[in-house]
Chains A and B, each alone.
Chain A
Amino acid sequence: MATEFAFPDSAAKIAGAKPEFEPEKMSLSMGPSHPSTHGVLRLQMELDGEVLTKCDPVVGYLHRGDEKIAENMTYNQFVPYTDRLDYIAPLANNMAYAIAVEKLAKLEVPPRCQAIRVLTAELARLSSHLLGLGAFGIDVGAWTVFMYTFTEREKLYKLFEELTGARFTTSYSRIGGLQRDIPDGWLERVSAFCDQFLPILEESMALLTRNKIFMDRTVGIGVISKEDALAYGLTGPNLRGSGVGLDLRKDRPYSGYEQYEFDVPVGTTGDCYDRYLVRGEEMRQSVRIIRQVIAKFPGGPWYATDAKKIFAPPKEKILTSMEELIQNFMLVTEGPQMPAGEVYFEAENPKGILGFYVVSKGGGVPWRLKIRAPSFCNLSILPKLCVGAMVSDVVAILGSLDFVMGECDR
């Protein structure tokens, strides 16, 4: 006798079944102390599996209140604080700050001073991009490049030390001039550095540019569209990587940049790989600028000689002449005297556009000094950029944005 056998209705069973695990999102906190966050950035991420559904950057761990400090000291006293903004390229910050205050004072510095500033700013750009390149390499698993680039940075530090007396925090610019003139034979040593630097740059970039692993980690990852880059106020290599050829050295030349020939590299897709390539090419262009500066290095004074109430007189004059002694005393006690008014100046720094907005009520102390930090603006795109990326992509994205928290948090 045949018994009837009812086949189980699997479809209905599956439809009615309760899933063993509720699909839930995981929250993960990366940083503030994490090797790929380049300092003290913290990312609060929400993950679905390995894909980010939300990313909230937490900044401010390095906040020192630089803008508050600036309101409480004279213009020259603030110069060392600008070193600590983008501490990878202090010479470029010194220059941007000095030009901003000189604009307020309506002061022109002589060509030699401008040339030295351009030279130091481009050396700072090399130093910054070398670190960016090396650290990016480490982030995506290529250790060797870091060793090459740090050897070169060490040579740059030797040059900085000879010029300013400090390797790291240079404080080289003064309002209306510089801390000192260049030492004897320094230009030849910079020139010799450039000669040996270019082959090493090619060698270290050859380790990455056609590297299969590196390309897999960066090509098509972290794509920033032109529109997004502009809307979020991205600047520097991050903006140019997205195909916008904005470079203030070309577009609004300052400190005599209009005399030098150089190209502005731009990317096509705006991914991590493009930002890497843009930085590499910018280093070659920096070397080009440095060589031109050295080739037509101007003579003459290296500080504004007509700026009596702004730039300190020479030391031997202070020690021998009453007038200069009083001048120096007033300068140290009351600060360089500025007219009332407000100026905004931006310089093309290695990380992007560094802006200083100075509001003065007259006298030697600013009423308000706002620092427009490129890293702060560059990081503000993270909540949009990281959604949909994998956790490992975040590391590549952070590496390619090349930020410095000292500047972001101020």
Chain B
Amino acid sequence: MPADAKSALQAKFPLVTDRASLDHPAVNVPPADVAAVLHYLRDEFAFDMLVDLTAIDWAEGAAPRFTVVYHLFSTTRHDYVRVATLCTGTDAEPHAPSVVSLWPGANWHERECFDMFGIKFDGHPDLRRILMWDGYPHHPLRKEFPLAGIEAPLPDAEIAEETKATLIAAPMAGGPFVAVSGEINLTEAEPRAKDESWNEHREKPE
């Protein structure tokens, strides 16, 4: 990112602030300005590739809970910039603006974010689930979603009707082992199974 880019950006969009980063230049942008800022970066500073678009869930209680992060790359200067924005709307239905009109490649990334976090991208031409199937009731990358999964209906209604089967949480057989870090004694720090599953020997946790 050219040295003057950040100041030029902040002169044009006064609400843009610096974002802490360990590597590439990064900015925080209010949701209303995202599309304009990305457009400006693409056309004025030759960030011609949207290499990645993703979201972070800061867990229940954080306000706002979701951040959408864009990584842009310049194929002429070979550098990156990270643009982050906080989602508007409620925790159950967060909103962010769509950038499909700037980069058609954002289409699948935004569908993935919607699928995994439930973020609604306003202006997206075809916001469907992409990795999970249509009609799946949960958003798996939200922090409250357990690793083992949650019981859910089968994707195919006909088969569900016929077999009376549902998708059950995966039996995790003790794993994965997750340790607690911090000022605790070694006995307590020993890795523990973060097991949220159930099987024939063990009752389903509520």
Chain A interface (Cβ < 8 Å from any Cβ of B):
59-60, 63, 65, 67-69, 72-74, 77, 103-104, 106, 230-235, 244, 246, 248, 251-252, 329-330, 332-335, 337, 339, 341-346, 353, 355, 357, 359, 363-365, 367-368, 370, 372, 376-377, 379-381, 384, 409-410
Contacts and interface: CB of A to CB of B under 8 A. Distances in A.
Interface string B92-124: 000000000001110110001000100000000
Given A252-B78, A376-B108, A409-B131, A341 B178 contact: no
Given A230-B49, A357-B52, 17 more contacts: A59-B130, A60-B129, A68-B140, A68-B141, A73-B177, A234-B105, A244-B75, A333-B186, A333-B191, A341-B21, A344-B24, A355-B51, A364-B179, A364-B181, A365-B181, A377-B108, A380-B105
Contact of B22 (A334, A343, A355): A343
6 contacts: A72-B178, A230-B48, A334-B181, A344-B71, A372-B71, A376-B112
A interface: dominant SS: mixed
Given A63-B132, A72-B194, A334-B179, A233 B51 contact: yes
Nearest to A329: B186
Given A72-B178, A343-B22, A380-B108, A357 B69 contact: yes
Most buried by B among A74, A337, A365: A74
A192 to B, nearest CB: 36
A344 B105 contact: no
A104 B147 contact: no
Contacts of B179: 74, 333-335, 364
Contacts of B181: 334-335, 337, 363-365
Nearest to A103: B23
B50 to A, nearest CB: 6
A265 to B, nearest CB: 17
A232 B104 contact: yes
Contacts of A251: 78
What 7 pairs across the A-B complex have the smallest Cβ distances?
Answer: A233-B105, A60-B131, A232-B105, A251-B78, A380-B108, A341-B22, A370-B54
B80 A344 contact: yes
Contacts, number: 123
Interface residues of B, number: 48
B52 A355 contact: yes
Contacts of A345: 23
A59 B129 CA distance: 10
A233 B49 contact: yes
A357 B71 contact: yes
Given A72-B178, A343-B22, A364-B181, A231 B103 contact: yes
B36 interface: no
Contacts of A233: 49-51, 103, 105
Contact of B176 (A73, A232, A357, A381): A73
B169 to A, nearest CB: 12
A252 to B, nearest CB: 5
B11 to A, nearest CB: 26
Interface string B1-43: 0000000000000000000111110000000000000000000
Contact of A72 (B80, B103, B176, B190): B176
A231 B147 contact: no
Nearest to A326: B186
B21 to A, nearest CB: 7
A296 to B, nearest CB: 25
Contacts of A363: 181-182
Contacts of A410: 131
B23 A346 contact: no
Most chain B C-beta atoms within 10 Å of own C-beta, residue among A235, A244, A334, A357: A334
A18 to B, nearest CB: 36
Contacts of A73: 176-178
Contacts of A63: 131-132
B82 A344 contact: yes
B56 interface: yes
A52 to B, nearest CB: 18
Contacts of B177: 73, 77
Contacts of A59: 130-131
B189 interface: yes
A363 B182 CA distance: 8
Interface in B125-146: 129-133, 140-141, 145
A72 B73 CA distance: 30
A235 to B, nearest CB: 8
A344 B176 contact: no
A330 B185 CA distance: 11
A65 B147 CA distance: 9
Contact of A68 (B48, B69, B147, B180): B147
A77 B131 contact: no
B91 interface: no
A3 to B, nearest CB: 66
Contact of B190 (A65, A333, A341, A381): A333
Most chain A C-beta atoms within 10 Å of own C-beta, residue among B22, B23, B141? B22
Contacts of B186: 329, 333
Contacts of A67: 116, 141
